[in-house]
Structure 1
Amino acid sequence: MSRRIGGGLSALLLTALVSGPTLAQDLVVTRSDGAEILRLPAPDGVGWCILWNHSVQGFPVTDCYENRSGRMVLVRSRQPDFAAGLGHIPGRGRQVSDGEGGYWILDIDEAVPGDAYVLRPGAGAVDHRIEMGDTIVSLSALAPRDRVRIALTEGNE
């Protein structure tokens, strides 16, 4: 919720002084050879999720991130089961039922070191995807089994 402090030009100047310059930011995915394969606008407050199908059980898993003041932050994760490689770590967020037999881990709120990480998209049924709003892009289709870097970067204005 925003609060109006003054009127007209004085309020505009105060807002500019308090908030400072705003940099455009993008979520950028690059292949191991450095080629950019995806760029999505990701201004402050925007979130996105990495979706994939568990390689053993086949069910969908979701990790969700957000741009918080220019930092990539892991916010929550949905896991339908306690299968291999999954599970809640006590003290790292809070686990709640998803109402469908699985669970969400909420309030993780961990900044990703360097605002980037490396992922090797699984081919075929694993289908690693990025979802931002109504946009879903399959990283597995663009770079199957390749090493990709997912980064929150200063964008092109």
Structure 2
Amino acid sequence: MSDGLGRRSVGLALASVVVLALVLAGGAAAVQSERVLVVEDAETGERLLATPVENGTTVTLAYNHSVEGSPVRDVYAVRGDELVMTRMEFASYGWGFPAQANVTRENGSFVYRPDDVRLSELHVSPGGVAEHRLHVDDKTYDLVARSDGETVRVHLEHRTKLQRMMP
């Protein structure tokens, strides 16, 4: 009789260890962090968009130049906790474009590749004339509609997988 009780005790102890390991593994997964690109109202901090990104993710701010009316694309790459500007593409020279920089022509556009522009955050004032859009890899977000035309702050932050599941 004690032999059956001994096996049962060992079985219960083994089951307890397995359950504890699963709970600990689930807890560790819940607190692992991921990097997210966040767009929030610059004044209130209200979160308008949060999407996971990795090193190398391309983030492009596309808009129409307010004076020229021509398309502009500011292209950034996620590197660590920064947005690094890799190039600016524009169709025509106008106010605010890099007049003294080394600009090349590619596929009918002017292209400027800055040396080392690293940003921890980017402020954008979306407008109906400019039609600001944010491209994150292959997804496009209408910043004018999301922000109701209010200035937004774009930045990177870390969040846990548990925070991602929370509303």
TM-score normalised according to structure 1 size: 0.74
Question: Secondary structure in 1 aligned to 2:129?
Answer: helix
CA 1:109–1:23: 2 relative to 1, 3 Å: farther
Task: List runs of 5+ in structure 2 lacking aligned partners.
Answer: 1-31, 162-167
CA 1:23–1:44: 2 relative to 1, 3 Å: farther
- Answer with 1 or 2: which has the greater Rg: 2
> In the alignment, which residue of structure 1 is the partner of 2:164?
none
Confirm whether residue 28 of structure 1 aligns to residue 73 of structure 2: no
> In the alignment, which residue of structure 2 is the partner of 1:130?
134
Q: 2:126 aligns with which of 121, 127, 130?
A: 121
Identity of aligned residues (%): 25
Letter matched to residue 29 of structure 1: V
Structure with more helix by fraction: 2
> In the alignment, which residue of structure 2 is the partner of 1:3?
none
> In the alignment, which residue of structure 2 is the partner of 1:109?
116
Trace 1:1-157 onto structure 2 (pairs within 5 A).
23-31=33-41, 32-90=43-101, 94-100=102-108, 102-112=109-119, 115-122=120-127, 124-157=128-161
Task: Deviation per CA, 1:121-144: give whole Å up to 9, x if none.
Answer: 11x231111001221111111114
Question: Secondary structure in 2 aligned to 1:140?
Answer: helix
CA RMSD of aligned residues (A): 1.8
Task: Deviation per CA, 1:7-58: give whole Å up to 9, x if none.
Answer: xxxxxxxxxxxxxxx9521110001211100112111111110000111221
Letter matched to residue 126 of structure 1: A
Task: List runs of 5+ in structure 1 lacking aligned partners.
Answer: 1-21
Question: Secondary structure in 2 aligned to 1:142?
Answer: helix
Q: Give the C-alpha shift of residue 95 in structure 1.
A: 1.7
- Write out the 4+ residue segments of structure 1 that deviate beyond 3 Å after TM superposition: none
Equivalents in 2 of 1:156, 1:60: separation in Å?
A: 37
Letter matched to residue 153 of structure 1: E
